[in-house]
Amino acid sequence: MALKKNTGISNSGIINTAILRRYMQYLRLEKSVSDNTLDAYMRDLQKLVNYYADNGIDFRSVTLRDFDLFAGTLREHGISARSIARILSGVRSFYHFLTLEGEVPQDPTELLESPKIGKHLPQVLSVGEIDRILEAIDQSKPEGVRDHCIVEVLYSCGLRISELCGLKMSGLYLEEGFIKVTGKGNKERLVPISPRAVKELHNWFSVRCHINIREGYEDYVFLSRTRGKSLSRISLFVYIQQYARQAGIEREISPHVFRHSFATHLLQGGANLRAIQEMLGHEDISTTEVYMHLDMGHLREEILCHHPRNIKSRKD
């Protein structure tokens, strides 16, 4: 059985489009998911819709074995355990909705287990590596002034790339030391900004004021100098990769690594985990707790390097 190419949710004759439209409305209104997250949910759900259609399965009488076979099919097509776990999480969400709507008498996913995946620890840069990236940016060019500011704001505020690209002039409260960002689910939060990042913003504003800004983009902080529009996430990823290579960092670096570094360095400096959760905009503290694992690794390394028993052992 081949998975059909995703062309959007269609009427399979088993799960009709009316149910899918109601589910999309449920995700938007009840779960407040962003457009990107909604698209991801529906792309994953399309795989289940296709599987039901190909195998003549009635979604109202589906069994746990059907879900296991579905997961097996995903594995056969080379989909990773992490991606399968995400897809099955979306399946649970869909059947929870169907149960609430009375479309199925009982949630058949209650005993559905996701594949075991190892703990994924996010990549983190050292303070020295971040400084090297900043030093690699040529500030004699207008784009360099902008990008130097971007890296500093990413690291100083721990923003998601989408939050930085969507940052508005009207959301800057620099005298008070805060910026307002729009995170997942269009939820707004205030984030403290460092004096150094504020200085970088003022440097960028001295360049930004000379840009011919297109109508509708006047309120965006970070703009393309040539196009006069807000920066795309893809462009920002390319710039960061380029500066990392110039700084002699061989591993692949994304803008998101500055967010991970922000949280890890705060934790290492003694910041409260709840405070970090608020600054990152995590709904669940368990999402923030991954940085505890990183910090424990750092602590172990420090102990191995500096504890007198370990120093003596190395000398012996």
pLDDT tens readout for residues 182-235: 888 788 899 999 999 999 999 999 999 999 999 999 999 999 988 999 998 888
For residue 229, give its domain range.
127-257
Segment 235-242 shows an average pLDDT of: 90
Return the pLDDT at 8: 38
- CATH number (domain holding residue 167): 1.10.443.10
Angle between helices 17-29 and 81-101 (to 10 degrees): 100
Is 309 a residue whose pLDDT tops 60? no
| 96 noted as active-site residue | no
126, two tokens: 């050292």
Whether the per-residue pLDDT at 308 is higher than 70: the answer is no
Which of the following is catalytic: 208, 259, 260, 265?
259
Determine, yes or no, domain membership for 50. Answer: yes
Structural domains counted in the chain = 2
Domain closes at, from 257, 277, 296: 257
Cβ atoms of 224 and 235 closer than 8 Å: yes
**pLDDT confidence of residue 23:** 92
pLDDT by residue (tens digit) across 256-294? 889 888 888 887 777 777 887 888 887 777 666 666 655
136 or 121, greater pLDDT = 136
Residue 195 lies in a domain: yes
291 is catalytic: yes
Q: What does the pLDDT average to over 68-78?
A: 87
Q: pLDDT per residue over 161-172, tens digit each?
A: 889 999 999 999
Active-site position among 184, 225, 233, 245: 184
Domain limit, last residue, from 101, 135, 164: 101
pLDDT at 247 over 60: yes
Distant-in-sequence, close-in-space partners of 266: CB < 8 Å, separation ≥ 6: 158, 275, 276, 279
pLDDT bracket for residue 6 (50, 70, 90) = very low
Give the end of a domain, one of 257, 274, 300. 257
Domain identity same for 155 and 91: no
Q: How far apart are CA 69 and CA 112, in angstroms?
A: 12
Give the angle 258-264-269 at the CA atoms, nearest 5°. Answer: 125
CA distance 229 to 245: 26
Instruction: Check whether residue 242 and residue 149 sit in a common domain.
Output: yes
Out of 22, 96, 245, 256, which one is annotated catalytic?
Answer: 256
135's CB contacts (< 8 A; 6+ apart) are: 247
In a domain, 308, yes or no: no
Write down the pLDDT at residue 170: 96
pTM exceeds cut of 0.75: no
Residues in the chain: 316
* pLDDT(88) > 80: yes
Residue 310, pLDDT > 70, answer no
Question: If pLDDT is split at 50, 70 and 90, which confidence band does 110 have?
Answer: confident
Residue 276 counted as domain residue? no
